[in-house]
Amino acid sequence: MTIREFKMPDVGEGLTEAEILKWYVQPGDTVTDGQVVCEVETAKAAVELPIPFDGVVHALLFEEGTTVDVGQVIISVQTGEAQAPAPAAAAVEAEPAPAARQPVLVGYGVSESSTKRRPRKAAPAPAVAAQNGTAAPVAAPAPAAPAAPAPLPAVPAQPSGERPLAKPPVRKLAKDLGIDLASVVPTGDGGVVTREDVHAAAAAAITPRTAAPAAAPAAAPAAVAAPVAPAAAPALDASVRETRVPVKGVRKVTAQAMVGSAFTAPHVTEFITFDVTRTMKLVQELKADPDLAGLRINPLLLIAKAVLVAIRRNPDVNASWDEAAQEIVLKHYVNLGIAAATPRGLIVPNIKDAHAKTLGELSESLSALVATARDGKTSPADMQNGTITITNVGVFGVDTGTPILNPGESAILAVGAIKLQPWVHKGKVKPRHVTTLALSFDHRLIDGELGSRFLADIASVLEHPRRLITWS
Measuring CA to CA, how many Å separate 228 from each of 108, 124, 149, 342, 343? 30, 22, 29, 10, 6
The answer to whether 334 and 353 are in contact (CB under 8 A) is yes
Catalytic residue among 58, 355, 443, 464: 443
Interatomic CA distance for residues 45 and 347, integer angstroms = 9
From first CA to last CA, the distance across the chain in angstroms is: 66
**What count of Cα atoms within 13 Å lies in the side-chain half-sphere of residue 70?**
26
* CA–CA distance, 312 with 9 (Å, rounded to integer): 41
Q: Please, are residues 179 and 201 in contact by the beta-carbon 8 Å criterion?
A: yes
Residues 6 or more apart whose CB falls under 8 angstroms from that of 254 comprise: 345, 346, 347
> Sign (positive/negative) of CA torsion 363, 368, 369, 375?
positive
| 425 is annotated as an active-site residue | no
- DSSP notation for 53-108: S-EEEEEE-S-TT-EEETT-EEEEEEE--------TT--TTSPPPP-SPPP-STTS
Report, as residue numbers or ranges, the catalytic residues. Answer: 443
